[in-house]
Structure 1
C-alpha cells in the first residue's frame, strides 16, 4: 500500500470520528482561533514548527478520543521532547484556555472511550463519622 493510500485511510477514519463529535469539539478542531492558540503557545515556549504540528495532533487526539487526557502531559513531553514542567504548563494552558468552553463534551468523549481508565482512578476512602462518646463511660483516673 502506498503512503498516499495510508494517508487517505487515516483521513477517512479521522473524518468519521470528526463527524460524530459535538459541534463544540468540531469547532475547536477546525476554527482559526485554535491555530492562533497553537501559534501563541509555540511563540511562548519557543517550539519548532515540527513540535507545533505534533502539539496540534496531541490536542486533536484528545478531542476525538484517541488519547486519554490524563496522558496528555507525558505525551507532550515525549513527543515534543520537552521537560515535564514545560509539558505540564502547556497542558494546563490548553485545558484551561482552549478546552474550557467545551470541557463537558470532552469529558463525555473521554468517558466513552476510556471508561476503564477513568474508573480505575484511585479513590480516597470516605472519612469515618465520629463516634458518639457517652460521658457516663468516661473514667476520671485522678479521682481514684
Structure 2
C-alpha cells in the first residue's frame, strides 16, 4: 500500500529583488535538514491551502500575509506543494523566527548558485533542490 503524499502550503515572500527563505533546523529525519527552503508547512485536515499558508506564515515568522496569489503546485512521490506568493511589507527585524535555524533575504544570485551564507550557522548552506527549482521558475516567470 503506497503512502499518500503530504500536502503543504508554501509562500514565496519577496522584497525588492530578494526572497525570504528559512534555514531549516539541522535535525536528522526532517526533509532538507540544514537547507534553505521556503516558509510554510502541512495543511491540516479540513483546511484549504489558502488558509494553511496564512496560518503557517503567522506561526513561523509572525507575519500577517497581505493579499497573495497562487503560483502553482509541485508534486513528487512524497509531497504536494501548494505555492503562493506575496510581498514582504516589513523589515526583516520585524519578523520573529519561531521555526528554523535562520532566515534571510536571498538574492537571485544566491538562488542561481544554490547556496547562501547563514549568520546563525556561520557557514554557507545549500538550498533544498525542490525549493531552488520553485524559485528559479518563479524568477523566470516574473522577469520584467
> Same fold judged by TM-score > 0.5?
no
Q: Which has the higher contact order (CA 8 A, sep 6+)?
A: 2
Normalising by structure 1, we get a TM-score of: 0.25
Higher helix share: 1
TM-score after normalising by structure 2: 0.25
Higher Rg of the two aligned structures: 1
